[in-house]
Structure 1
Amino acid sequence: MSQRLPKNPAFDFRKYQPFAFAPKLNDRTWPDKQITQAPIWASVDLRDGNQALIDPMNIEQKLKFFKLLIDIGFKEIEIGFPSAAQVEFDFTRRLIEDNLVPDDVTLQVLVQAREHLIDRTFEALQGAKRAIVHVYNSTSKVQRDKVYQLDKEQIKQIAINGATMLKDKAKNYPDTEWVFQYSPESFSQTETDYAVEVCDAVCEVWQPWLGQAVILNLPATVEASTPNVYADQVEYFCRHLKHRKDVIISLHTHNDRGCAVAASELGLMAGADRIEGTLLGNGERTGNMDILVMAMNLYTQGIDPKLDFSQVSEVVQIVSECNNLPVHPRHPYVGELVFTAFSGSHQDAIKKSLDYNEKHQETDNHWDVAYLPIDPSHIGRGYQDVVRINSQSGKGGAAYILQRHYGFDLPRWTQIDFARVVQAQAETLARELKTEELLDIFTNAYLSQDTFHLSDYTISNRGGEVTFQGQVASPEQVFEVIGQGNGALSAFIDGLVKATGRQIHVTNYAEHAIDRVMRTDNETGNQTNAAAAAYIQLAVDGQIYSGIGTCNSTVSAMLKGALSALAQAW
């Protein structure tokens, strides 16, 4: 009987209260909306992601990451907090002075609403063609009451002051096209009507209706509610903002409840235009919204994500090298195991779906495969990732691997027989079986039997009756096999019955051509080819046994298959 863990008296749900900042929105419209196009994407890997690393990136790592973001297709990239550290300032200058920013890419930087920090920020951006200056201050009730100890009017004035400073400082740099962005930090924990009030006040300063480009960013700085509540907050905000049509609404969700992607998706349905996030979700605490996941979610719905993840393994490698963070093997779309099925029923369904697709390519070219939301090859992953074998696997998985890798198309009755062999081996080893091991198990079980050897034989056909005549040698004796039947196999079986005295008849038979190199011979090192594979199931003295034979000749493969099955019974 297992011992229970001692209860922690501090684990007390009564310390917490239900979420208190949901707006009243009885006529919400977002549940009836669908996402039909990609949002404006903004990567914050080099700022929000970088500040959450144990060891922040150096300039060379940032340059490598920046190039990756460009290659993927990002047009807006938050590169840092240039007023916060010298390395951030120097990286900004490096991008501008070395002309590393494509003309269609806009740099974004973050700054607090404080004058000397804003001065330093504009100094860092001098010479940029187009830049987003992102200013913020926290508006949530907990920050107002416990951190700043200021009332709503005082907090709003901080936002107004920051917006005014941005507008005034930008006039000193007329050669740059400036975009102003404001975030009511902790929007998700702010009364939504108050967030509207603060953002309206900021807009009065910037006057986007007169042509100034403005982004209002609504962060779930701490994810504190279910995604539907966040969507209500976004829809309420969009409805009540005075100059909604003149601004871009951006979302920046975090993953404290594990729902950052869902919150951004629903927020997009609720009226947002733009999404901020990071690749693989790196960020403070549980991380930022994972742009790769959200983009690939759109991809699975037939929507162009406007970002290129066709070589996702290379993306993951660079991100991991720069962030020095591992990727979970179950991470959506990119984890080592996300396209892998160990379950027997899953493997069988995948195999049958893929087989069906291959037979109906001309009439059905849309991806629809059980347990695989996308084709792994579309993002540079191989089919070897799809099916892996352990003790939980069934007949379909082993059959899939033998078919895809080695050209053996096992009939169902052979699949059942082989599955028992594979499961026994996996249980003995207590681990996953490698692809090469699976072929070895298959070969040892069916193709390497040395109980019987077929010597020279002749097959003749007179008047529709086929006669087999030859010798079959076992370790103990040599059988003279002479038999008649309506075909080579039936004549051979008739001869075996007469020679051995055993009751033998064929219960199942299948064959197919194979055109792949089967294996490397362990003794000679030579690769051997087989043109045909024959699968035979025999009833021997009332018991069922399966055998397989391969050879350049279909008839020889058939006879070898019969001996392979007979060897199981001997």
Structure 2
Amino acid sequence: MNNEKVEIFDTTLRDGEQVPGCKLDTHQKLIIAERLDELGVDVIEAGFPVSSPGDFNSVNEIAKLVKNASVCGLTRAVKKDIEVAAEALKYASKPRIHTGIGTSDSHIKYKFNSSQEEVIKRAKEAVSYAKNFVDDVEFYAEDAGRTANDFLAKVCEEAIKSGATVLNIPDTTGYCLPEEYGAKIKYLKEHVKGIENVTISCHCHNDLGLATANSISGVVNGARQIECTINGVGERAGNTALEEVVMVLRQHPYLNLQTSINTQLLYDTSLMVREKMGMPVQPNKAIVGANAFAHSSGIHQDGVIKNRQTYEIINPEEVGVTESAIILTARSGRAALAYRAKKVGYELTKLQLDIAYQTFLLFADKQKEVIDEDIHKIMKQVSKVSKIAVA
């Protein structure tokens, strides 16, 4: 049976760029957009055109550049926003307008000082108006995670009737638990007339560290688009990390879900976004962190050296990392020292390794990590003590 495709909607250049201090100029956005297209994302959300002349220009230039992906512009449920987005996207071969409105009680009462009836009316008008400019209209129900399912279903049904091709169900505040978010998607699949004719999209934030889990729960329950960013950059604690959801789906083939992402470009793309945004990635970040394929515990190192799969579920080459890293520390064992010594040109006998290991421990107790330069020093001492040249 062929795996069903989950489309990857990348919003690094819109939601990701909203992070304080991560502002990108048009040239930088074009470089990243070109890479995202090469990476294989299905949709690039290029910006919020009405927000500024710079954002309008960026969306306009990205629309000209991108060859394969759909190019998307965000709007509020406001006619002017939609008109400006349509103008910015006019050169796109596959344009998409992403429009919507808040649907939770909190948004309706405090943000809009409005009513459910008025929200439904505005949603219908926005989708219908956007449909005058493009065929592909995505509707977002902002704060859907905290919206009652029955009302959310009503809004979604009206959006479909008005011409929406994609329904975005955002967990805007990162509040949902995975089972709650998955159940919400399942409820919509079962209660919204015409939903089989549109794509359901997950847009999850990471306030409680659950963005990836929620997105996976969403697609397991019927969503077929995930909205995400490189490195998980985004408002507050960030968005769903593209590299995480892509590799979850790749590593669990029994889910029968796949993407079009060229995973071997993930690490290099991560580095590009870090550099352009000036946004470092924590070393223990899944998939693309510096320590994602690094091992410093002796037990782990011995296992990985014997067979990588003992402690790694992903071959680092699959995501563009050259190889696993064996980091020498005071917790490393003889196998790790022998492995790293061989990497820099030393084939050790058992006697030499025993001597070298005792010297190594003296180095390791004084510093956090023993590097290649230290290994050469250790081998010189081994040669003196054993009176045997280390080759």
- Give the TM-score, by structure 1 length: 0.64
Aligned partners of 2:111, 2:287: CA distance in 1, in Å? Answer: 40
Matched, 1:349 2:303: yes
Checking the alignment, whether the CA contact within 8 Å between 1:396 and 1:415 is kept in structure 2 is no
Q: Secondary structure at the match of 2:75?
A: strand
Equivalent residue for 1:326, pick from 280, 283, 289: 280
- Structure 1 match to 2:106: 142
Aligned partners of 1:318, 1:410: CA distance in 2, in Å? Answer: 43
Aligned partners of 1:292, 1:163: CA distance in 2, in Å? Answer: 31
Equivalent residue for 1:65, pick from 32, 46, 49: 32
Equivalent residue for 2:362, pick from 402, 409, 424: 424
Query: What does residue range 285-364 of structure 1 map to in structure 2 within 5 Å?
Result: 285-301=236-252, 305-354=259-308
Structure 2 gap ranges (5+): none
Equivalent residue for 2:340, pick from 401, 409, 412: 401
Query: Per-residue deviation at 1:44?
Result: 0.7
- After superposition, give the CA deviation of every residue in 1:197-230 in whole Å (9 maximum; x if it has no partner): 1111122222xxxxxx610111111111211111
Query: Per-residue deviation at 1:92?
Result: 2.5
- Structure 2 match to 1:159: 123
Query: What does residue range 456-495 of structure 1 map to in structure 2 within 5 Å?
Result: none
- Structure 1 match to 2:313: 373
- Structure 1 match to 2:384: 448
Checking the alignment, whether the CA contact within 8 Å between 1:133 and 1:180 is kept in structure 2 is yes
Checking the alignment, whether the CA contact within 8 Å between 1:130 and 1:178 is kept in structure 2 is no
**Structure 1 residues 410, 242: closer, same or farther in 2, change over 3 A?**
farther
- Structure 2 match to 1:539: none
- Structure 1 match to 2:152: 195
**Structure 1 residues 89, 338: closer, same or farther in 2, change over 3 A?**
same
Checking the alignment, whether the CA contact within 8 Å between 1:399 and 1:410 is kept in structure 2 is no
Q: CA RMSD in A?
A: 2.3
Checking the alignment, whether the CA contact within 8 Å between 1:113 and 1:159 is kept in structure 2 is yes
Aligned partners of 2:22, 2:292: CA distance in 1, in Å? Answer: 28
Query: Per-residue deviation at 1:185?
Result: 0.5
- Structure 2 match to 1:253: 204
- After superposition, give the CA deviation of every residue in 1:307-343 in whole Å (9 maximum; x if it has no partner): 1231444212210122111111111121112211111
- Structure 2 match to 1:230: 181
Query: What does residue range 523-562 of structure 1 map to in structure 2 within 5 Å?
Result: none
Query: What does residue range 94-243 of structure 1 map to in structure 2 within 5 Å?
Result: 94-96=61-63, 99-102=64-67, 104-167=68-131, 169-170=132-133, 178-206=135-163, 214-243=165-194
Matched, 1:45 2:12: yes
Q: Which amino acid aligns with 1:379?
A: V
Aligned partners of 1:319, 1:66: CA distance in 2, in Å? Answer: 11
**Structure 1 residues 410, 297: closer, same or farther in 2, change over 3 A?**
farther
Query: Per-residue deviation at 1:246?
Result: 0.8
Aligned partners of 2:90, 2:153: CA distance in 1, in Å? Answer: 32
Q: Secondary structure at the match of 1:47?
A: coil
Aligned partners of 1:158, 1:311: CA distance in 2, in Å? Answer: 41
Q: Which amino acid aligns with 2:296?
A: F
Query: What does residue range 490-529 of structure 1 map to in structure 2 within 5 Å?
Result: none
Give the number of the structure whose alpha-carbon radius of gyration is greater: 1
Q: Which amino acid aligns with 1:294?
A: V
Query: Per-residue deviation at 1:405?
Result: 3.9
Checking the alignment, whether the CA contact within 8 Å between 1:221 and 1:253 is kept in structure 2 is yes
- After superposition, give the CA deviation of every residue in 1:458-514 in whole Å (9 maximum; x if it has no partner): xxxxxxxxxxxxxxxxxxxxxxxxxxxxxxxxxxxxxxxxxxxxxxxxxxxxxxxxx
Q: Which amino acid aligns with 1:73?
A: G
Q: Which amino acid aligns with 1:341?
A: H
Aligned partners of 1:345, 1:415: CA distance in 2, in Å? Answer: 17
Q: Which amino acid aligns with 2:50?
A: S
Aligned partners of 1:266, 1:313: CA distance in 2, in Å? Answer: 25
Aligned partners of 1:250, 1:432: CA distance in 2, in Å? Answer: 45
Aligned partners of 2:281, 2:271: CA distance in 1, in Å? Answer: 9
Q: Which amino acid aligns with 2:170?
A: P
Checking the alignment, whether the CA contact within 8 Å between 2:139 and 2:167 is kept in structure 1 is yes
Checking the alignment, whether the CA contact within 8 Å between 2:283 and 2:290 is kept in structure 1 is yes
Checking the alignment, whether the CA contact within 8 Å between 1:234 and 1:272 is kept in structure 2 is yes
Checking the alignment, whether the CA contact within 8 Å between 2:6 and 2:226 is kept in structure 1 is yes
Query: What does residue range 249-288 of structure 1 map to in structure 2 within 5 Å?
Result: 249-288=200-239
- After superposition, give the CA deviation of every residue in 1:436-479 in whole Å (9 maximum; x if it has no partner): 3124313412x2348x6xxxxxxxxxxxxxxxxxxxxxxxxxxx
**Structure 1 residues 425, 407: closer, same or farther in 2, change over 3 A?**
closer
Q: Which amino acid aligns with 1:182?
A: F
User: Which structure carries more relative contact order (alpha carbon 8 Å, separation 6+)?
Assistant: 2
Checking the alignment, whether the CA contact within 8 Å between 1:218 and 1:249 is kept in structure 2 is yes
- After superposition, give the CA deviation of every residue in 1:411-455 in whole Å (9 maximum; x if it has no partner): 5x865654333222211x23211023124313412x2348x6xxx
Q: Which amino acid aligns with 2:65?
A: L
Query: Per-residue deviation at 1:392?
Result: 1.9
**Higher helix proportion, which one?**
2
Equivalent residue for 2:23, pick from 43, 48, 56: 56
- Structure 2 match to 1:391: 330
Aligned partners of 2:123, 2:181: CA distance in 1, in Å? Answer: 22
Query: Per-residue deviation at 1:297?
Result: 2.4
**Structure 1 residues 313, 244: closer, same or farther in 2, change over 3 A?**
closer
Checking the alignment, whether the CA contact within 8 Å between 1:82 and 1:89 is kept in structure 2 is yes
Aligned partners of 2:11, 2:375: CA distance in 1, in Å? Answer: 45
Q: Secondary structure at the match of 2:208?
A: coil
**Structure 1 residues 219, 390: closer, same or farther in 2, change over 3 A?**
same
Checking the alignment, whether the CA contact within 8 Å between 2:33 and 2:66 is kept in structure 1 is no
- After superposition, give the CA deviation of every residue in 1:521-560 in whole Å (9 maximum; x if it has no partner): xxxxxxxxxxxxxxxxxxxxxxxxxxx6657xxxxxxxxx
